[in-house]
């Protein structure tokens, strides 16, 4: 009989990682998904309203503080939801530890950079830059 066969089920799972963040991660995915419903609807209304408008008209509408706030909130929520979703895919389907580490870094970095670029673009339009 091997020594590992004498371990209890609890002893076998110790050291396999934290089980504390899963619930928060799951909830944050749901919260961001629910938040995206009205934000995407507002974005669709904005796009329909801007159809055929010239740059100055579009910049004037985007420059409205409420519209700017909604767009920034949409961008932050989209990229946060994207990061959470891709993290789950990477954790579930990438098995090499080096590959997983690289992809997790790329996911986080890519979402931060993409979100920052989009927010700066909206702010540039809003403030007339």
What pLDDT digit, counting tens, does each position of 30-42 carry? 999 999 999 999 9
Q: So what CATH class is 23-126?
A: mainly alpha
Contacts 24+ apart (CB under 8 A), 57-63: 58/125, 59/125, 59/126, 59/128, 62/122, 62/125, 62/126, 63/125, 63/126, 63/127, 63/128
Whether the CB-CB separation of 55 and 95 falls below 8 Å is answered with no
- State the virtual CA torsion across 89, 91, 93, 95 in degrees, nearest 10: 160
Tell me what pLDDT residue 21 has: 73
Distance CA 110, CA 90 (A): 14
3-state secondary structure of 103: helix
Regions of the chain where pLDDT drops below 70: 1-20, 129
pTM over the 0.95 mark = no
Q: Where are the alpha helices (DSSP H) in the chain?
A: 9-13, 22-50, 55-62, 65-93, 97-126
């Amino acid at each position: 009989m091997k020594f590992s066969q004498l371990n209890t089920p609890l002893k076998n799972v110790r050291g396999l990682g934290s089980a504390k963040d899963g619930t928060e991660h799951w909830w944050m995915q749901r919260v961001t998904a629910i938040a995206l419903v009205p934000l995407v609807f507002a974005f669709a209304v904005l796009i329909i309203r801007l159809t055929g408008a010239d740059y100055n008209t579009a910049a004037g509408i985007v420059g409205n503080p409420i519209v700017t706030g909604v767009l920034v909130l949409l961008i932050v929520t989209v990229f946060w939801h994207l990061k959470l979703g891709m993290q789950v895919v990477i954790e579930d389907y990438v098995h090499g530890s080096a590959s997983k580490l690289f992809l997790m870094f790329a996911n986080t970095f890519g979402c931060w950079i993409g979100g920052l670029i989009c927010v700066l673009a909206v702010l540039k339009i809003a403030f007339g830059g």
